[in-house]
């Protein structure tokens, strides 16, 4: 049985020739993961850091998206090597590790994702979906080809160390998180502040100089376009829960009378516009 069944993010980036646009899956729902996977997006991020996801729900979502031509990335909740091992054994082929701010932390992440002698990943391929229970020929010898590791820079310290982080062998790229970066720089909730945008730009330049692809989270369409123009190779441009929240709010605003609205602004007026 050959792998990858779906290309890793590293492979997709090598072949793309354009920025890759993805969506966040934060609901913990395999149904929503499948909806996002079939949308036409290039990649999806199954989140364990800020979403109600454990190993079982991540496995269900990996199953749900496996039949679609989309690259699935799992963001682990931390750089814990035990969690990284478990998520890789589930069959996640691309992982994203948050809050990496130093070269040393990046080296630890790379080691956690590789078997000895290059790393410390525990050997359990005969028991795990990663090697399809030893149905993938030579998985242990070729595991590095089947696994792609990205780290997230989202602090001022991480920006200063971005080039060294990106240069670590076994790190395939860097994803910049403007939300936490803004908080780290003293601009909580202000991802568009000029100092935050400038820091993102510095990270872009340093990661690119190290020869690795750089990505960014940008839900604002103009910010996403600007970052793509500035060299972002992969971007997250929306999330299942945010898309549902805004769409349901728009639905309610269209059909439910709002306080102070005129008689013609209620349900009857909306209905006649179908």
pLDDT tens-place string over residues 165-199: 999 999 999 999 999 999 999 999 999 999 999 99
- Domain assignment present for residue 264? The answer is no
Identify the burial level of 222 via C-beta atoms within 10 angstroms of its C-beta, where 0-12 means exposed, 13-18 middle and 19 or more buried.
exposed
Distance CA 113, CA 184 (A): 27
Identify the burial level of 267 via C-beta atoms within 10 angstroms of its C-beta, where 0-12 means exposed, 13-18 middle and 19 or more buried.
exposed
- Domain assignment present for residue 273? The answer is no
- Domain assignment present for residue 173? The answer is yes
Q: How many domains, the chain?
A: 1
Of the given ranges (215-219, 248-252, 259-263), which has the lowest mean pLDDT?
A: 259-263
Distance CA 265, CA 161 (A): 55
- Domain assignment present for residue 250? The answer is no
Across the range 250-259, mean pLDDT stands at 92
- Domain assignment present for residue 252? The answer is no
* CATH code of residue 151: 3.20.20.60
Distance CA 51, CA 25 (A): 8
Confidence of residue 1 (pLDDT cuts 50, 70, 90): low
| Whether the predicted pLDDT of 260 surpasses 90 | no
Across the range 201-211, mean pLDDT stands at 98
pLDDT over 70 for what percent of the chain? 93
Catalytic annotation present for 50: yes
pLDDT at residue 258, rounded to an integer: 81
| Whether the predicted pLDDT of 9 surpasses 50 | yes
- Domain assignment present for residue 160? The answer is yes
* Catalytic entry in 50, 63, 146, 193: 50
- Domain assignment present for residue 1? The answer is no
- Domain assignment present for residue 99? The answer is yes
Q: Which domain holds residue 228?
A: 9-241
Look up tokens 């502040």; give the residue.
193
This prediction's pTM: 0.91
């Amino acid at each position: 049985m050959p792998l990858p069944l779906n290309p890793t993010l590293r492979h997709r980036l090598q072949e793309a020739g354009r920025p890759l646009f993805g969506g966040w899956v934060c609901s913990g729902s395999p149904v929503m993961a499948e909806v996002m996977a079939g949308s036409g997006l290039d990649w999806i991020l199954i989140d364990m850091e800020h979403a109600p996801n454990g190993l079982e729900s991540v496995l269900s979502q990996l199953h749900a998206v496996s039949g679609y031509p989309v690259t699935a990335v799992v963001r682990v909740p931390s750089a814990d090597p035990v969690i990284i091992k478990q998520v890789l054994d589930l069959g996640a082929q691309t992982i994203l590790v948050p809050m990496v701010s130093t070269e040393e932390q990046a080296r630890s992440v790379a080691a956690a994702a590789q078997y000895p002698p290059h790393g410390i990943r525990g050997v359990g391929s005969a028991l795990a979906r990663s090697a399809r229970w030893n149905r993938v020929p030579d998985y242990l010898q070729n595991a590095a080809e089947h696994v792609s590791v990205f780290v997230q820079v989202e602090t001022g310290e991480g920006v200063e160390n971005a080039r060294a982080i990106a240069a670590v062998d076994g790190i395939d790229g860097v994803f910049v998180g403007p939300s936490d970066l803004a908080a780290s720089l003293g601009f909580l909730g202000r991802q568009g502040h000029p100092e935050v945008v400038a820091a993102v730009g510095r990270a872009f330049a340093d990661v690119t100089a190290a020869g690795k692809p750089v990505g960014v989270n940008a839900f604002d369409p103009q910010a996403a376009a600007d970052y793509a123009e500035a060299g972002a190779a992969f971007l997250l441009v929306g999330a299942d829960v945010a898309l549902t929240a805004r769409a349901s709010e728009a639905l309610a605003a269209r059909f439910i009378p709002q306080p102070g609205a005129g008689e013609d602004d209620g349900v009857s007026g909306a209905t006649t516009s179908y």
